[in-house]
Every structure is written in structure tokens, then in C-alpha cells.
């Protein structure tokens, strides 16, 4: 009996959700996804072409309930960063056992990390690299390294993102690396790993020790980036002592400060520095 | 959900960014202190730097999406057109995936004062370029 909360039901998030939701231990799912299913999504997504124009969260809810009628599914058609959703999100997260991040932008990942640490929820994150040349799966637990620790560590120690971001607006353009988006197969390969790690983390909780905190699977040989395809790199990212995101004892303001107290403190600090 | 309208943003400002600005200002000549202004959902840091012989006036903007998105710095003092200068006299300071650590913005390690230091380094290069025609730092890859 576990409640899973996931953000993102795009081409990478939906297969993770599908695989994880087939596990009988998951009995309740809350999905956060604001986007509408677009024609250009069809080639990489689980949903059919006829579904174009509908909200992905609603489609995902239908998809899951068609496969498991006993599953309690709730979809929130909202942007994770929308201030109006935050109170509701906090209520949902108070009853959450495990979470999945399939967001594709950094502000959302950092915000998700903040929410997870605040509610002490174990969570996983999957990332398909540009062009589908490989992908990462990361897992996080309370008091472990945060997303900032991981992103900073990986930027400093490996070079895996030399390939430019795909330009979906120019299919067939001159540069293959910028015009060939990840294939459905490469997305599903990373999604499968992501689902496996999520289910093991659910099962083992704080005892989970797979020998990595971040796993990189290469799917293609790319000169100057990956020497060979289908190779795994296992990273044991430590919690950074100097991390500005999660360092304990960092905050000068009490953890239980009310929104009003934060506003007053901020106004006073800005006034000291020449504002207003 | 941003720097000035979210709990996470306000806590970042109160516990990290504004204290380091106060430390930077502490004991500094009034002319060179950083002034912070709230403009819409952004914060603008206004300050002067003197990397060599000249004083430059700058502003660094912390956008609503800061610190995930790096600060944007532009020089208000008129400059000659030179390498690493973008439209509106914005400085090209960050390059995602760069092999040079100081050229990659890292929200887990850097504060807004790092952007001020990066601007100082850029202006020092500009002064050398102005005299010699050569940018003294190799291009970040």
C-alpha cells in the first residue's frame, strides 16, 4: 500500500509511470503535469494520435485506470512551479511514500528536490541526454545528497552533455546531434532503468544500496563524449559539505518561520541594502 | 514560483545571497558598495568595479528563476565592441558544459557575489584587450 507522486508525464515520464504503476504495492498515484498532448509528441509517446489535444495528465489517468481498476489515481493539471498549487501539493506530499521526477527543466527539478527534502520523501529522477545518446537515473533519500549536490558533482567530473539540445523545430537540419531527438527506444531504455530503481527504492527504503547514487547508461558511441555504447558508469555522489542548496544549518531564518515573517525579514534585509 | 514569491527563493535570499552581499559591502568604500533593488520579480544589484585604471558601473540581475538560472550582468559604462560582449553590453560569463569550472554556473556552489567576481575578471580582461587587442584568457570550451 504505497502512494506515489510523480511530476511529468511526457515521453520519458509516462513509461516510468506505466511500469511502476503495474507493481501491486503501488495503490495510489498523484500525477502533476500541465501540458497538452501535441502532434509532435506522438512519435515518442505511449498515447495514440487520436488523443492529441487532451491534457497528458488526464490521458495518463485513463491509461492507468484501464490497466488497474483498483488503482486510485489523481491528476493535477498544473505546473509544478505554479504558486497556486503549492498548498495542495504540501498536503499531498504529507501522505506520500515515494516520488518520481520526470520533469525536463532545471527549475522544476530544483523545486521538486526542495519539496522532497522538506517532506523527507525518497525519490528518483531520470534524464535522457540530448539526441538519446544515453541517460541518467538518480535516486535520493532524506539526508543524502540533494539534486544540487548531484548536478554540481556531475558537471565537475564528467562531460556528458556536449551534444547540443535537439532542435525540434528543424527536423532534418544540418547537424544530426541538434536535429535528431531521442528515439522512443532510447527513452524507454532509460525509463526502464528509472522504474527499476524506483521500485527497489520503494522496497528497500533507507537500506537501498545499489552501489551508486547516479547511474549513467550510454546508448550510442559518440566521439569525444562516449567511447562505447551500452556502457554503464556508476557514480557515488556524496553530500557536498559546501552545498548551498542542502547544507545543514545554512539557514539564518528559523525553519518554522511563517510566510509573513519571511516577508518582513526580506523587506528589512533589502532595505538595509538600499531598496525602497 | 520565483526568487521573491516562493519560500525557497526567500530563504535562499535571506540565508545566502543577502548575507554575502552584506559581507562584500562591509568596510568597503561607499562608492563601491553593492546596492540591491527590487524590480518586479527580479532583484538588481547595482555596483561599481575598478579592475585596473578605470571605474565601470554595472548591474547584475537575479531573475525570478535564480539561482537555477545564472545571474545576468551588464556594464552600464559605454564599452568598445569587444569579444565576449553580448547585446545590451551584457557580459558572456557562463557556458553550460564548459570545461572551465568558473565558466559553469552552479547554483549549489556559487552565490551572486561569484557573478560580481566573474564580472571583475571580465573587465580586467577588457582593460588588457583595450590596450593590446588581445583577450588574455583563453576561450572557455
Q: What is the mean pLDDT of chain B?
A: 90
**Closest residue in B to A244 (Cα–Cα):** B108
Q: Torsion over CA of A172, A175, A179 and A182, rounded to 10 degrees? A: 120
pLDDT at A127 over 60: yes
CB pairs under 8 A between A and B: 97
Region A60-74 average pLDDT: 97
Backbone angles phi, psi at B42, to 5 degrees: -115, 165
- Give CA A234 to chain center in angstroms: 19
Q: How confident is the model at residue B6 (pLDDT cuts 50, 70, 90)?
A: confident
Residues of B in contact with A276 (CB under 8 A): 38
Write out chain B residues lying below 8 Å of A239, CB-based: none
| Nearest to A34, CA basis, from A73, A66, A60 | A60
Cell numbers linked to A172: 532534418
Q: Where is pLDDT greater, at A190 or B69? A: A190
Q: What is the pLDDT of residue A256?
A: 76
Mean pLDDT (chain A) is 89
Average pLDDT over residues B61-85: 93
B105 in contact with A, Cβ within 8 Å: no
Least confident window among A56-65, A139-148, A152-161: A152-161
Grid cell digits, residue A111 = 523545486
CATH of domain A2-245: 3.40.50.720
- Please name each of the domains of chain B with its CATH number: 7-132 (3.10.110.10)
A177 has pLDDT over 70: no
Q: Which B positions 26-65 lie with beta carbon below 8 A of chain A?
A: 34-38, 43, 65
Amino acid at each position: 500500500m504505497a502512494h506515489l507522486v510523480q511530476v511529468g508525464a511526457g515521453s520519458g515520464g509516462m513509461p516510468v509511470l506505466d511500469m511502476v504503476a503495474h507493481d501491486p504495492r503501488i495503490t495510489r498515484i498523484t500525477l502533476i503535469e500541465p501540458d497538452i498532448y501535441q502532434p509532435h509528441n506522438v512519435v515518442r509517446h505511449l498515447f495514440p494520435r487520436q488523443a492529441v489535444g487532451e491534457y497528458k495528465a488526464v490521458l495518463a489517468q485513463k491509461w492507468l485506470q484501464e490497466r488497474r481498476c483498483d488503482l486510485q489515481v489523481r491528476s493535477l493539471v498544473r505546473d509544478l512551479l505554479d504558486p497556486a498549487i503549492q498548498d495542495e501539493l504540501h498536503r499531498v506530499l504529507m501522505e506520500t511514500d515515494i516520488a518520481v521526477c520526470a520533469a525536463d527543466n532545471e527549475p522544476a527539478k530544483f523545486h521538486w528536490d526542495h519539496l522532497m527534502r522538506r517532506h523527507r520523501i525518497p525519490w528518483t529522477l531520470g534524464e535522457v541526454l540530448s539526441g538519446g545518446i544515453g541517460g541518467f537515473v538518480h535516486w535520493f533519500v532524506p539526508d543524502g545528497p540533494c539534486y544540487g549536490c548531484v548536478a554540481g558533482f556531475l558537471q565537475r567530473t564528467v562531460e556528458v552533455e556536449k551534444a547540443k539540445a535537439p532542435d525540434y523545430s528543424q527536423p532534418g537540419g544540418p547537424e544530426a546531434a541538434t536535429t535528431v531527438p531521442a528515439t522512443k527506444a532510447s527513452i524507454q531504455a532509460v525509463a526502464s532503468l528509472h522504474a527499476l530503481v524506483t521500485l527497489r527504492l520503494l522496497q528497500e527504503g533507507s537500506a537501498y544500496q545499489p552501489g551508486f547514487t547516479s547511474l549513467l547508461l550510454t546508448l550510442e558511441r559518440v566521439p569525444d563524449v562516449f567511447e562505447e555504447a551500452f556502457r554503464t558508469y556508476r557514480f557515488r555522489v556524496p553530500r557536498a559539505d559546501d552545498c548551498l542548496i542542502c547544507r545543514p544549518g545554512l539557514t539564518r531564518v528559523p525553519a518554522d518561520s511563517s510566510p509573513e515573517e519571511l516577508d518582513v525579514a526580506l523587506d528589512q534585509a533589502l532595505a538595509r541594502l538600499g531598496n525602497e | 514560483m520565483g526568487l521573491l514569491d516562493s519560500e525557497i527563493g526567500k530563504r535562499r535570499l535571506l540565508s545566502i545571497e543577502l548575507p554575502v552581499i552584506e559581507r562584500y559591502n562591509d568596510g568597503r568604500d561607499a562608492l563601491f558598495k553593492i546596492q540591491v533593488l527590487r524590480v518586479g520579480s527580479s532583484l538588481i544589484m547595482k555596483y561599481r568595479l575598478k579592475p585596473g585604471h578605470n571605474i565601470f558601473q554595472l548591474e547584475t540581475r537575479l531573475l525570478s528563476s535564480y539561482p537555477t538560472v545564472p545571474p545576468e550582468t551588464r556594464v552600464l559604462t559605454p564599452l568598445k565592441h569587444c569579444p565576449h560582449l553580448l547585446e545590451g553590453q551584457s557580459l558572456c560569463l557562463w557556458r553550460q558544459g564548459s570545461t572551465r569550472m568558473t565558466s559553469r554556473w552552479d547554483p549549489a556552489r556559487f552565490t551572486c557575489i561569484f557573478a560580481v567576481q566573474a564580472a571583475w575578471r571580465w573587465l580586467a580582461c577588457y582593460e588588457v584587450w583595450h590596450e593590446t587587442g588581445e583577450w588574455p584568457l583563453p576561450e572557455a570550451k
